[in-house]
């Protein structure tokens, strides 16, 4: 793997191994999950969230240590890429080209990314709730917008009429895909500012 390989590409490359695919969640879920937990206002220990990547309840069983090390290194590299992007307020580099089909609808890859992001957000949400963001503040509005757009991407055809009516008022899938790397970065940058101010 050369230095020109982006962090998400390096992680995807590890998932070409059948053992990794058998033990770990879908790669798109993993990308979304890590994008979310790296936006925590409080730093998280690797062992507090790494097991959430496993497909099953038990730890993965890799046949050799090199594979386990390669997987862990790729995960950490993408995690650090997300944090650095948030610190520098630069949009995440993500495989967004695969998130829309020819009809400009969300693909399974896009929806899986969003599902993974929401899973990761569940872990950091209590930390955000403790901050008691002021209603209608810039921070609260960004958080609400981000979660609604991600939710639409995860479940574009929600069966609840009220939810679907709200989704229909939101941006088109193409708009969401264009906005998402910037929006997620803005959310991550907000966590950096909050952390630095404490």
* Percentage of residues of the chain with pLDDT beyond 90: 43
Weakest-pLDDT range from 47-56, 73-82, 108-117: 47-56
For position 2, what pLDDT does the model report?
45
Q: Long-range contacts: 141-149, Cβ < 8 Å, 24+?
A: 142/183, 142/186, 142/187, 142/190, 143/187, 143/190, 145/183, 146/183, 146/184, 146/186, 146/187, 147/118, 147/121, 149/176, 149/179, 149/180, 149/183
Angle between helices 108-130 and 173-197 (to 10 degrees): 30
Quickly tell me which residue has 């770990």 as its tokens. Answer: 24
CB 115 within 8 A of CB 121: no
pLDDT over 90 at 12, yes or no: yes
pLDDT over 70 at 30, yes or no: yes
For position 33, what pLDDT does the model report?
97
CA torsion sign, 48 to 52 to 57 to 62? Answer: negative
Instruction: Report yes or no on whether pTM surpasses 0.75.
Output: yes
Query: Which has more pLDDT, 60 or 11?
Result: 11
Alpha-carbon span 62 to 78, nearest angstrom: 20
For position 81, what pLDDT does the model report?
94
pLDDT band at 163 (very low <50, low <70, confident <90, very high): very low
pLDDT band at 165 (very low <50, low <70, confident <90, very high): low
For position 137, what pLDDT does the model report?
79
Weakest-pLDDT range from 76-85, 93-102, 120-129, 187-196: 187-196
The token pair that represents 134 in the structure block? 């002021």
pLDDT band at 5 (very low <50, low <70, confident <90, very high): confident
Query: Which has more pLDDT, 133 or 23?
Result: 23
| Section 5-28 average pLDDT | 91
């Amino acid at each position: 793997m050369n230095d020109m390989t982006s962090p998400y590409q390096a992680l995807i490359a590890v998932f070409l191994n059948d053992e990794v695919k058998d033990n770990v969640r879908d790669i798109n879920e993993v990308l979304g999950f890590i994008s979310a937990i790296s936006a925590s206002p409080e730093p998280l220990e690797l062992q507090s969230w790494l097991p959430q990547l496993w497909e099953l309840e038990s730890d993965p069983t890799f046949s050799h240590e090199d594979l386990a090390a390669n997987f862990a290194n790729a995960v950490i590299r993408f995690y650090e890429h997300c944090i650095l992007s948030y610190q520098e307020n630069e949009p995440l580099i993500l495989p967004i080209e695969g998130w829309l089909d020819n009809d400009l609808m969300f693909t399974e890859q896009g929806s899986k990314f969003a599902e993974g992001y929401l899973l990761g957000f569940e872990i950091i949400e209590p930390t955000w709730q403790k901050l008691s963001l002021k209603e209608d503040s810039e921070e609260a509005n960004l958080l609400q917008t981000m979660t609604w757009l991600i939710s639409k991407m995860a479940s574009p055809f929600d069966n609840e009429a009220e939810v679907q009516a709200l989704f229909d008022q939101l941006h088109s899938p193409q708009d969401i895909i264009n906005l998402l790397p910037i929006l997620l970065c803005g959310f991550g940058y907000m966590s950096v500012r909050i952390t630095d101010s404490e």
